[in-house]
Structure formats: structure tokens, C-alpha cells
Chain A
Amino acid sequence: MPIHKVWRESRPRFLFVLAALLLVTAASTFYNSTTESVVLETKDFHQAGSRTFQGPLFLFWGFAAMFLGLGGLLRERAVGTVDYTLSLPVSRTRWFLYRAINGALQALAVAIVPALAVPLFASLFGSDYPIGEAAIHGLRLGIGGMLFYSIGLLTSSLFAGEFTSAGLGIALVFVVNNSTRIFQTLKPLNLQDAIAPTQMMDTSPYLARGAMPWTGICVSFALSVVFASLACELHKLRDF
């Protein structure tokens, strides 16, 4: 089945990213770099969790999602199997859709699973973190942050070389992230605010309060669909 092939080819990349993000989450949850204290002593998982969600998980996930967007038919050209794949009675649009959906689900998964790891770590060490909250943070990160994933899709449809598209992708992620912080007019669109719960955090007990930044999330998701469509069109037009 075509989707099974797409999954298998993306599996090593997915597992690598998942492992890396779990590691980052664990490190950030257990060690507070600002106070240089190990959380096991303070047992304040609420603070640790919120710190993780706001910072490291958001940051690393952004790059991870973009990384998941790379790959696909252009990679196949490097391996040499693209002729066989394209000779099959499957349209390029369909191949793209299979890959895009598979990757999007994976991007979502690598947001939710590490997010849910926080309550798990907390409960393992005698503390707590509300699972519902963690799940929502993870979902919001994954859905609102699809833009990073679609940046990966777009750059990989432009360039055959993995490094070139990765490089451009990283640059774009930085631009997207920082431009919305720097330019005041764009501030409402700031991704970090939208998908990482900085505005919402109550300082104590570090749980989310306030309304969900729906505008930011929706705009971001809509843009990611635009980028993905653009990537699809590029796929249809190019030579392999």
C-alpha cells in the first residue's frame, strides 16, 4: 500500500525525532538551567513543566517539525527509486498527499507524546502535573505549529539536496519566530505566544489560565495549509 511505503520510509526519521524530543523534555523537566537546580529535589514539576512547554519543547519541536517535512520524492531521486515510484499508476498529487498527511500526523505525535511525558515524569517522582493540561499544550503546539512542518514541505519541494532545504528551512523557522516578536504590528501573530503558553501562564501554581489564543493558532494553521499547497503544486510541475 502506498501509504505504508511512505510510513516505512519516514519511520527512521520519525523515531529519531521522537527520541530526541523526549530527551530534551526529560532534560528540561528535570533540570532548571536558570536556577541550576535539579527538580528532583524541589519536586516542583508544575514549574518545570511550564518552563519546558514555553521554551525548550517549543523551540526544539519547531525544528523537529520542519525536519519531518523534509524527505519525500526528491530524496527518492537521490536514492534512485523515483523512476520506479513515478512509473506506478499513482499521481504526483496523491504521493504528495500521502507524505504530507503522514508527516503531519508524525509532527503532531512528536508534540503530544513529549508533552504527555511531563505528567509521566511527575508521577514517577511522587509529584503531579495535570494530564489534561499537558495534552492541551501538546495539541496546541502541534496544530498551531504546523507552519514549521509545512516550511519543511515547501523547502524540500524546492531543493533536491537535503542540506540546502534544511538550511533554508531553519532560516525560515528563525525568521518566522523572531519577526513576529520584533515587529510590534505582527505581535498578535507571534507563534510562540499562540502555541506556547507564555501569555496564559499563571505564575503560581504555573498552570494555564485565560483564553486560548485562537486567532494566532488559526492564522498559523491556515498559513501552513497555504505552504503545503504551494509545495504540492511545485511537486506537480518539476522534473525528477
Chain B
Amino acid sequence: MNAVVETTDLTKRFGENTALNGLTMTVPQGGIVGFLGRNGSGKSTTIKILLDVIRRTSGEALLLGEPTGSVAVRRRIGFLGEDKRLYPYMTVEEIIEFTRPFFSTWRKETESRLLRDFELPRNCKVSSLSKGMRTKLGLLLNLCRHAEFLILDEPSEGLDPVMAEQMLQSLVQQAADGTTIFFSSHQISEVEQIADHIIVIEKGRVVLQGPLDHVQQKFRRINLVFDDPPPAEAFRVDGVDHVSLQGRTISILASRNIDDIAALGPLLAAKSVEVQPVGLKELFLEKVRER
């Protein structure tokens, strides 16, 4: 399987500030990739480098196999920015007319269908559209070109729940057509819903990446209840990522040797041992706080 995006040790410095610090990540072809990170973690910087809006300081970044900056590659991709700003003086119709000729894979049937479904008024100027409408327009401009790869920066930001679900559904449809989708989001629940692969970035580096179900099956929360005092030190073993103490309960986040760790419970006379799956939000918070 070819990687749609491949970065190796990607670094970007803005004067004194290091926005990306050796970012190495791979976006596999086909499927939906969720890109998670706090504000200021380097998400937008990464996306801008992929689009060649800003230039990298060092390291490598490949988009569809070519170094970033290739005009030919940009004919095969789509992009929806965080701001969702489009030319304010153009009407909906005009900006569609403007964008269409750039993409030979544009389908007019998709255009008509989405104009109808998204209820976008053709003769309305972009400047008079609400943010939600602008997002839908931006989405339309991208979906009609049936690109190989779609990059979306916070696509559901500013959308009400109904619009957000509509948007997610359009992305699923595109993915079913073979487009690889890469979207950054603060809505972790959205990522859990539609992503099959995740990349988590913090302070300009990847802290977690892989197929989402692998990640979900790998990590476990093990809660052990003891009589006082709970022997927390005994649990600093291989596979344990984080140990926390809450009264008589030791709560462990583990990524390996789950069975062995859980087995320590009865050995140390635990009153109860519970092994539970870990939600992505919990995992994300642990991983970014670690640093």
C-alpha cells in the first residue's frame, strides 16, 4: 500500500519558536485518518507544509509520493482550511465556475447533488454566507473534484450537530469512492466514529500513531482496589504507561503485558481487579500530558 503522506524528521522553526520538531508520520492510502493535537501542537503547521503554503526548515515531506510543492500533485488533492475563507466578492456560482476548470476529475452530477443537499444559494455572495454555509461550500468545492486525497483542518468547527453529521457522512461517501481522508479535529468523539487510523501530535512530534482499532485493543485501564496502603510501586513494571492513585484504588494505563499486570492484583491481595477498554479522549489526554 502506498503512503499518501510521508514525513521524515520534519522540522519547522519560526525564529526562536520550534513548531515542528522532527515529525515523522505516515498517512496510509485508503481510509480516514484523524489528526489530533492540542492548539499550538503543530497541526496547522504540518498541513501548511504539505500544501507548500509554508516551507519546511529541515526534514522531508512527501505528498502522493512527490516532494511538497508539486503543482501536478495539487491537481489530485483537495483542501478545506480551518478558516474556511473563500473569495468574499464571488458568488457561490462564480467560485464553483472558478474552481471547476482546475480539476479534470470534477463531476457535475456531484456538483448539482451537493448544491441541492447543502441548500447553497447560487447567487449569494460568499461574504454574506454564514460560517456553516461557507464550510459546506468549501466542502462542495472539494468533494466535486473527487480527489485522491482530501486534507481538512477542523472541518466541523462552527457547525451545528446536524451539519456536522452531514459533513461526516459526505466524508464517508468520499472514502467509499476511494479518496483518502485526512482531517484534524478537536472533536475526539468524531475521530473515534469515522477514523480508522489516527495520528496524535504534541509539541511538534508524533506521540501516537496507528490503526485506531489496534490502539484501542492495545491499551487497557486496569483498576485495582486494595486495603490501605495500595502498593503503587509494585506496578511500575514493563508495559505500564501511567499509574495513578485514588484512595484505595490504583488506576493503571497499560499498553503491553495486560494479563501479567492484572495478575499482579491477586498476588498482592487486591480486593478487586477490573480491566477496561480505554476511550480515545482518555488516551489522548494521557499522551499529551506525559510530555
Contacts and interface: CB of A to CB of B under 8 A. Distances in A.
Interface of A: 1, 4-5, 8-9, 79-84, 86-91, 237-240
Contacts of B138: 84
A90 B102 contact: yes
Interface string B75-113: 101110101011111100000001101110000000000
Interface of B: 48, 51-55, 71-72, 74-75, 77-79, 81, 83, 85-90, 98-99, 101-103, 138
B255 to A, nearest CB: 37
A238 B78 CA distance: 22
A240 B79 contact: no
The 9 closest A-B pairs by CB, nearest first: A80-B85, A239-B54, A87-B79, A89-B74, A89-B75, A83-B81, A80-B83, A86-B53, A91-B71
Given A9-B89, A80-B83, 8 more contacts: A82-B53, A84-B86, A87-B77, A87-B78, A88-B74, A89-B72, A89-B102, A239-B54
Contacts of B78: 87
Contacts of A239: 53-55
15 contacts: A1-B98, A81-B86, A81-B88, A83-B48, A84-B81, A84-B85, A86-B51, A86-B52, A87-B74, A88-B74, A89-B74, A89-B103, A90-B102, A91-B71, A238-B55
A82 B101 CA distance: 19
Q: Which of B85, B86, B88 counts the most A-chain CB atoms under 10 A from its CB?
A: B85
A91 B73 CA distance: 11
A216 to B, nearest CB: 39
B246 to A, nearest CB: 45
A79 B78 CA distance: 21
A237 B55 contact: yes
A13 to B, nearest CB: 13
B72 A81 contact: no
Contacts of B81: 83-84, 87
B136 to A, nearest CB: 15
Nearest to A238: B55
B72 A79 contact: no
Contacts of B83: 80, 83
Main secondary structure of the interface of B (DSSP, over half): loop
B71 A83 contact: no
Given A5-B98, A89-B102, A81 B53 contact: no
Nearest to A82: B53
A8 B83 CA distance: 22
Contacts of B98: 1, 4-5
Given A1-B98, A89-B72, A89-B75, A79 B51 contact: no
Contact of A90 (B54, B71, B79, B87): B71
B19 to A, nearest CB: 11
A8 B35 CA distance: 37
A204 B103 CA distance: 62
Contacts of B89: 8-9
Contacts of B103: 89
Nearest to B54: A239
Q: Which of A4, A81, A237 counts the most B-chain CB atoms under 10 A from its CB?
A: A81
Nearest to A90: B71
Nearest to B142: A87
A9 B86 CA distance: 13
A1 B90 CA distance: 13
Nearest to A81: B85
B218 to A, nearest CB: 35
B51 A83 contact: yes
A26 to B, nearest CB: 30
Contacts of A88: 74, 99, 102
A4 to B, nearest CB: 8
B53 A240 contact: yes
A84 B88 CA distance: 12
A81 B87 contact: yes
Nearest to A93: B71
B137 to A, nearest CB: 11
Nearest to B81: A83
Contacts of A237: 55
B101 A1 contact: yes
Nearest to A85: B87
B71 A89 contact: yes
Q: Which of B72, B78, B89 counts the most A-chain CB atoms under 10 A from its CB?
A: B89
Contacts of B53: 82-83, 86-87, 239-240
